[in-house]
Structure 1
Amino acid sequence: MNHRSNPRFTTFASALCLALAATLAPAAHAASQPSKTDKAAAPQSASAPLPANAIARVNNVLITQDELDQAVRATNAPDTPQLRTGLKNQLIARELFRQAAAKAHYDTKPQVIAAVEQAKTIAMTQAYLRDQVKPAPVTDADVKAKYDAIVATLGENEYKPSVIAVKDADTANKILDQLKKGTDFAQLAKQYSQGPNAAQGGALNWISFKTPIQPGNTQNWPQPLAEALVKLPQGAVSSAPVQVGDVYWILRVDEKRPTQVPQLDQAQAELRKQLEQIALEKATAQVVGYLVKNAQIQQ
């Protein structure tokens, strides 16, 4: 079993660290460690002064100020003396565990060796990808072009829809019957829908289409859904299921208003993020394609 990826083990180990740390609080100045980069340093007296960047010594192994600072940052909590004391004691407890495990030769156990190899593989792969995957830079002109392209697809009005998507016509018609009887749309979406945001009652973000609907200008919506949506007044539900492939959709227009187009400076951060993700995916696909092309793969 890989303890590094086992949440139950991680929680258990953390609890042990906290429990042991609590016993250290009255004697937090007791022994700590030589720096993690100097495990084989000559033994030091427990009463010897700590080096400048050390906060504790555990059986001749130093715990450094840098390690404590990193632990504080990882918590994303306000930096207080109480937090630092607690984290320092946890670092001491963790080092005691490490030393006890090493003394008992746990480093030779198969599950530990496997975990080390897995961590090595992950680190090696991540380093390789950082060096080899080179996404094309996203320029201000790219962001402006994306903004203009999106604005060009927007229509006069925008809609705040909710949807229910099911896999058969009988269920869709059953839902429509319940809606006509006054059953809450969101409740039915949570109960039946296999579509987006079902747990939120099927509610989607604002969407706008230039009308009449043109293929390719539907903001990634299936064209039949876009055409059905723009025909509905505010508060209305589609009178019949809209079939797209093997899925039957029921639409409701929760709100309708004149399209509100954000200024470029309001949208550019999100657009840049989207374009950078696309560039990263493209660069990654190129590396994968090259590796596949030059590999012998049998399946």
Structure 2
Amino acid sequence: MKHRPIAVRIRNATLIATLGLAAGLLPAAHAANKPTAKPSADKPADAASGALPANGVARVNNVVITQDQLDQAVRALNVPDTPALRASVKNQLIARELFRQAAEKQHYESRPQVVAAVEQAKTAAMTAAYLRDQVKPAPVTDADVKAKYDAIVATLGENEYKPSAIAVKDADTAQTVLTQLKKGTDFAQLAKQYSQGPGAAQGGAMNWISFKTPIQPGNTQNWPQPLAEALVKLPQGGVSSTPVQIGDAYWILRVDEKRPTQIPQYDQIKDALRKQLEQVALEKATAQVVVDLMKNARIQQQ
């Protein structure tokens, strides 16, 4: 059977564009393979290379791309595995190997930016391997997860609120926003125009929040207490009549919706809570490794 030249199979412009997008996902074909024996002088290169080895899916000059490398590259893309996808990925691996060989031929490996990138990659891989061995987070038990759920539920109030917010840096701008709101200007439009707070690009929209009332210090779901107090005083659709100053920022709140607090069942959120607790445990264990290393380190800072 006659094979189409490689150049024909990878000439599609979309494929070449995909090479750039997938460059960080597709492993270089040469990484796990050494070049095959150099062809003898009296034989053409393709004849000297012979048939592909049992695990080979392609040979680029004297480098074999293996089935394992193709499988790994397909898995890294995290999309449905199809024959068409495999053909496309194989061509990308071939093209990347061609690029590598061309760069190596012109000694790009000695260029300063390449040397620096290799060193950075080595440092990152070495550090990651060290942390995997040294960081031992405490296991998260079912009891830990249930206790976290109960603690969250205990902080919730009778009602929950869906707020929007506009946060600006000075009192004059805050007054300008309030004046325009009184004239009927859309809150979301003003948030996009003026706000430097959360959700500004979405018109100031924020997530549902609930507080036990009266508001108690330390029980405000990480909201500044004055903001929490101002929010629970507003009716549905209500807007702050005066800005609430928090540090250097001036906040204007609106209650988009208000409803009785909806508490999710434990089974619905236990997996998410477990992941949160595992992340906290990982950060704590990592911090402890840093502390232990610093005990025997000499560190100078300006």
Out of 125, 128, 135, the residue aligned to residue 126 of structure 1 is 128
The worse-fitting range, judged by mean Cα deviation, of 206-215 and 46-55 is: 46-55
Residue 157 (structure 1) aligned with residue 159 (structure 2): yes
- State how 1:5-24 maps to structure 2 within 5 Å: 21-22=10-11
Cα contact 1:53–1:64 (8 A) shared by 2? yes
Cα contact 2:29–2:97 (8 A) shared by 1? no
Residue 39 (structure 1) aligned with residue 34 (structure 2): yes
Residue identity in the other structure for 2:159: N
The TM-score, its normalising length taken from structure 2, stands at 0.85
Match of 2:243 in 1: 241
Distance 2:7 2:143 in 1: 52
- State how 1:70-89 maps to structure 2 within 5 Å: 70-89=72-91
Cα contact 1:209–1:217 (8 A) shared by 2? yes
Aligned-pair distance for 1:235? 0.2
The 1:56/1:242 distance shift into structure 2, 3 A limit, reads: same
Q: CA RMSD in A?
A: 2.3
| Structure 2 unaligned residues grouped into runs of 5+ | 1-5, 16-27, 40-44
Aligned-pair distance for 1:154? 0.7
Match of 2:58 in 1: 56
Cα contact 2:174–2:252 (8 A) shared by 1? yes
Aligned partner of residue 198 in structure 2, secondary structure: coil
Match of 2:137 in 1: 135
Render the CA deviation track for 1:1-58: whole Å, top value 9, x for unaligned. xxxxxxxxxxxxxxxx9998228x9xxxxxxx99744415424663522111110112
The 1:235/1:292 distance shift into structure 2, 3 A limit, reads: same
The 1:293/1:110 distance shift into structure 2, 3 A limit, reads: same
- State how 1:231-270 maps to structure 2 within 5 Å: 231-270=233-272
Match of 2:115 in 1: 113
Residue identity in the other structure for 2:266: L
Aligned partner of residue 67 in structure 1, secondary structure: helix
Distance 2:8 2:142 in 1: 53
| Structure 1 unaligned residues grouped into runs of 5+ | 1-16, 26-32
Aligned partner of residue 270 in structure 1, secondary structure: helix
Residue identity in the other structure for 1:39: K
Cα contact 1:165–1:247 (8 A) shared by 2? yes
Cα contact 2:35–2:64 (8 A) shared by 1? no
Identity %: 77
The worse-fitting range, judged by mean Cα deviation, of 45-54 and 144-153 is: 45-54
Aligned partner of residue 22 in structure 1, secondary structure: coil
Distance 1:242 1:233 in 2: 17
The worse-fitting range, judged by mean Cα deviation, of 268-277 and 181-190 is: 268-277
Residue identity in the other structure for 2:291: G
